[in-house]
């Protein structure tokens, strides 16, 4: 799908910021793709890359097992930008000497720009950057120019014009480098000559055409969960192949209030999609009876989902393909023929091991996109705002928000509390500002007073987090007035609850979900 696009190849040496680099490039309307560092140069040439970025990484270039890349990257004739480890590796390949720094730099540092002709064009002469390195360049051979330096790092940025190589010892992709986007923009536009023509509308048109080419006249089954990813997949496939798409929604009895009705109204009513609803709630709850271990719950739910899905999928004639909401963070590019390592693809919880069991071919139209890009695509495809910007919801549903054994009564309590919580967060104008908000039923009864009587009833924990990547998260600073209203309504309106607590832990060490 990207043959006619200008593409920036990112060779990932194990950097914690590898995906962030890719996102920053795309934010400049330039398509980016992450590859393993041992990618064949022929593959990069086939993909028609306009430039290459070598990411950072935890290794030392002089270590025996340090990741390397093909030195022929400099023969492709496209500009190369090395970041941190990527800079050290590339410069060492071009004859520079790398050694441990006298003082390891970590955190914010001031650099002095010595040459602002290209990479540092329109960047302040003194600027703050984010450093994270123990090694650095000790000496460079002839042909290198120093572009910037710090007090302890004389080669903070270098250039080799003949090889079209640029290197920075710091991380321009992180927000802690305030002018980092300007530096990346200079590389993309001034040095690589990119036009910035990559738009989500173009992606939508290309993806639709690619689905039509792959599917032909066959039928595609799509597992709907009610979440953003599966909803966008279904909307895109319906635009591409119309009635050849059949969606299956499994009601596992672990859904939020009005979830099933909302999916039916949206996809049957609005999109006119052929939707099969499988009510498997009794089977799920029967299998979960007496189970308290979170991992056992997940395994039971995953196994039952496959049984429920198979029971309906087997009835659908001429089904050859199964659509899956794999996103780009789930995929690691490699030099393999198909462009990915299957072992490194996280299977969408809705389809699990179904492709192998049912003999389907996979359709993964979102596998080149990040989560925020999926939301943009959803808007272009006409999905309503409520669905596009919906907070994440776990695959096992409310089973992991009812701590301990899952029962109908406990599900009722957490459903009603969740509905009040989300409604009040929306009413306060906070839903799009926070990243994920949830209610958890804690298996503890506490003493309370209602009227003139003492009560021993349940505790609801409210959790709300702010995050950009869901790898790290901090608790949301929800105004006390809103928290007070949420607590009051839950205690007064949800039978069986007499206490509400607010979770103020961060991730790590805590997770976002409680189980």
Report whether 251 belongs to an annotated binding site.
no
Q: State residue 466's pLDDT score.
A: 93
Q: Would you kindly state where each structural domain of the chain is located, as residue ranges?
A: 7-191, 200-388, 401-502
What pLDDT was estimated at residue 335? 33
Residues in contact with 356: Cβ distance below 8 Å, sequence separation at least 6, in sequence order? none
pLDDT in tens, 404-442: 999 999 999 999 999 999 999 999 999 999 999 999 999
Indicate the fold that domain 401-502 takes in CATH.
GMP Synthetase; Chain A, domain 3 (3.30.300)
Q: Is the pLDDT of residue 187 over 60?
A: yes
d(CA 175, CA 456): 48
Q: Across residues 184-203, what is the average pLDDT?
A: 92
Q: Is 231 annotated as a binding residue?
A: yes
Residue with tokens 């596998």: 367
The yes-or-no verdict on residue 347 having pLDDT over 70 is: no
The predicted pLDDT at position 395 comes to: 83
> What is the value of pTM for the model shown?
0.74
**15 annotated as belonging to a binding site for a ligand:** no
Q: Does domain 7-191 have CATH number 3.60.150.10?
A: no
First-to-final CA distance of the chain: 39
Please report the pLDDT score of residue 455 as a whole number: 67
- The pLDDT-based confidence of 328 (bands split at 50, 70, 90) is confident
Q: What is the pLDDT of residue 425?
A: 98
Strand partners, 248: 223, 276
Phi/psi of residue 75, nearest 5 degrees: -95, -5
Summarised one tens digit per residue, pLDDT across range 3-40 is 446 899 999 998 877 888 988 999 899 999 889 898 99
Q: Is 227 annotated as a binding residue?
A: yes
CA pair distance 220, 218, nearest whole angstrom: 7
The upper half-sphere exposure of residue 2, i.e. CA atoms within 13 Å in the direction of its Cβ, equals 24
Higher pLDDT pick, 161 / 270: 161
Average pLDDT over residues 336-344: 33
Interatomic CA distance for residues 82 and 78, integer angstroms:
13
* Confidence tier at 451 by pLDDT (50, 70, 90): low
Residue with tokens 């890349």: 69
Quick: pLDDT tens for 144-169: 999 999 888 889 999 999 999 999 99
Task: State yes or no: pLDDT of 344 exceeds 90.
Answer: no
Q: Is the pLDDT of residue 257 over 90?
A: yes
- Residue 80 · residue 73 · CB < 8 Å: yes
225 annotated binding-site participant: yes
Question: Is 78 marked as binding a ligand?
Answer: no
DSSP-based three-state secondary structure for 191:
helix
With residue 474 as reference, give the H or E element that holds it: strand 474-475
CATH class of 200-388: alpha beta
For residue range 92-104, list pLDDT tens digits in order: 898 888 877 666 6
Contact between 160 and 118 (Cβ < 8 Å) = no
Burial 460-478 (b: 16+ CB within 10 A, else e): bbbbbbebeeeeebebbeb
293 is in an annotated binding site: no
Q: Give every CB contact of residue 232 below 8 A, 6+ residues apart in sequence.
A: 325, 366, 374, 377, 378, 381, 383, 388
Residues recognised as catalytic: 84, 171, 173
* Two domains, one topology: 7-191 and 200-388: yes
Band (318; pLDDT cuts 50, 70, 90):
confident
User: DSSP letters of 308-369?
Assistant: HHHHHHTTSTTEEEEE----GGG--B-SSTTSB-GGGPPPPTTTTTHHHHHTPEEE-TTTT-
């Amino acid at each position: 799908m990207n043959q006619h696009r200008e593409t920036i190849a990112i060779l990932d040496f194990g950097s914690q910021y590898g995906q962030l680099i890719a996102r920053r490039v795309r934010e400049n309307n330039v398509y980016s793709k992450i590859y393993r560092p041992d990618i064949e140069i022929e593959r990069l040439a086939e993909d028609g890359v306009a430039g290459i970025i070598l990411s950072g990484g935890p290794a030392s270039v002089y270590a025996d097992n340090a990741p390397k890349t093909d030195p022929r990257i400099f023969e492709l004739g496209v500009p190369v930008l090395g970041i941190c480890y990527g800079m050290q590796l590339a410069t060492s390949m071009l004859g520079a000497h790398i050694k441990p720094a006298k003082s390891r730099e970590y955190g914010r540092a001031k650099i002095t720009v010595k040459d602002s002709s290209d990479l540092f064009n329109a960047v302040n002469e003194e600027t703050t950057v984010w450093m994270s390195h123990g090694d650095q360049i000790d000496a460079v051979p002839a042909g290198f120019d120093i572009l910037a330096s710090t007090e302890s790092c004389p080669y903070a940025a270098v250039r080799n014009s003949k090889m079209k190589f640029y290197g920075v010892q710091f991380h321009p992709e992180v927000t802690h480098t305030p002018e980092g986007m300007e530096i990346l923009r200079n590389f993309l536009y001034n040095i690589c000559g990119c036009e910035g023509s990559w738009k989500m509308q173009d992606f939508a048109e290309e993806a639709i055409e690619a689905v039509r080419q792959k599917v032909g006249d066959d039928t595609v089954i799509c597992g709907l969960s009610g979440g953003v990813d599966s909803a966008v997949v279904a909307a895109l496939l319906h635009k591409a192949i119309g009635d050849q798409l059949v969606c299956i929604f499994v009601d596992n009895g672990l859904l939020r209030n009005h979830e099933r009705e909302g999916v039916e109204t949206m996809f049957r009513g609005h999109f006119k999609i052929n939707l099969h609803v499988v009510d498997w709630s009794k089977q799920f709850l029967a299998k979960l009876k007496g189970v308290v271990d979170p991992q056992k719950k997940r395994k039971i739910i995953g196994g039952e989902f496959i049984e429920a899905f198979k029971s309906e999928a087997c009835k659908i004639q001429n089904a050859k393909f199964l659509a899956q909401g794999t996103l780009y963070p789930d995929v690691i590019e490699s030099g393999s023929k198909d462009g990915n390592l299957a072992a490194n693809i996280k299977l969408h919880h809705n389809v699990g091991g179904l492709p192998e069991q049912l003999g389907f071919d996979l359709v993964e139209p979102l596998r080149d996109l990040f989560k925020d890009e999926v939301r943009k695509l959803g808007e272009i495809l006409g999905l309503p705002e409520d669905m596009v910007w919906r907070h994440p919801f776990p695959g096992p549903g409310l089973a992991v928000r009812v701590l301990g054994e899952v029962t109908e009564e406990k599900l009722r309590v957490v459903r009603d509390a969740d509905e009040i919580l989300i409604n009040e967060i929306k009413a306060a104008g906070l839903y799009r500002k926070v990243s994920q908000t949830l209610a958890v039923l804690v298996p503890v009864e506490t003493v309370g007073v209602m009227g003139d009587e003492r009560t021993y009833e349940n505790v609801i924990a409210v959790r709300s987090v702010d995050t950009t990547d869901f790898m790290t998260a901090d608790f949301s600073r929800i105004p006390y007035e809103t928290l007070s209203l949420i607590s009051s309504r839950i205690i007064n309106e949800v039978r069986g609850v007499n206490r509400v607590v607010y979770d103020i832990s961060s991730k790590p060490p805590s997770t976002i979900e409680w189980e």
